Structure 1
Amino acid sequence: MKHVHSSRPTFWQICFSVLAALFGVQSEKARARDFTQGNPIPYIVIGIIFIVLFVVLIALAVRLMLFIAA
């Protein structure tokens, strides 16, 4: 079994892990780091923020397309 680094992930590592998970391309090394870190709260909060941003961006894109088409 590979050695997993035991320190807490950085903010950017959490962001990249959440994005990779949303796209379904998470590496085994990052997944192991995420699950051994022990605190799911940062991942949940950042995941919710990314999903809200995604929905807002889609809504803005639709409004822009409707404005252009009108």
Structure 2
Amino acid sequence: MNSGNDGESKTKPTPESPGVLKIIQSILAGAFGVQSDKRRQEDFASSSPWPYIIAGILFTAGFVVLLILIVKMVLAGS
């Protein structure tokens, strides 16, 4: 009797982990508030949130340091 399974798996394929460039694009788009719905869905479908979390923390820390440096340069020039 045929069980209906002809060797094909009916399970969903596991999403592959995103590349570095895709993560950077998503972080920058999210920071500026211009993330497309398609990209957001792709991001949430990825296998792990950790690359996005780490990249977001690094981006935020870098942004804060950049702002501090700009303010120090402006205050030193006046």
Structure 1 length as normaliser, TM-score? 0.85
Structure with more of its chain in helix, by fraction: 1
How far did residue 8 of structure 1 move?
2.5
Which entry has the higher C-alpha Rg, 1 or 2?
2
Cα distance in 2, alignment partners of residues 46 and 60 from structure 1: 21
Where does structure 2 lack aligned partners over 5 or more consecutive residues? 1-14
3-state secondary structure, aligned to 1:37? coil
How far did residue 22 of structure 1 move?
1.3
Q: Specify the alignment match of 1:22 in structure 2.
A: 31
Where does structure 1 lack aligned partners over 5 or more consecutive residues? 1-5
Flag as ranges the 4+ runs of structure 1 deviating above 3 A.
none
Structure 2 length as normaliser, TM-score? 0.77
Cα distance in 2, alignment partners of residues 7 and 27 from structure 1: 20
Alpha-carbon RMSD: 1.0
Residue 74 (structure 2) pairs with residue 65 (structure 1): yes
Q: Identity across aligned pairs (percent)? A: 44
Q: Specify the alignment match of 1:40 in structure 2.
A: 49
**Superposed CA offset, 1:33-64 (max 9, x none):** 10101300000000000000000000000000
Aligned residues: 64
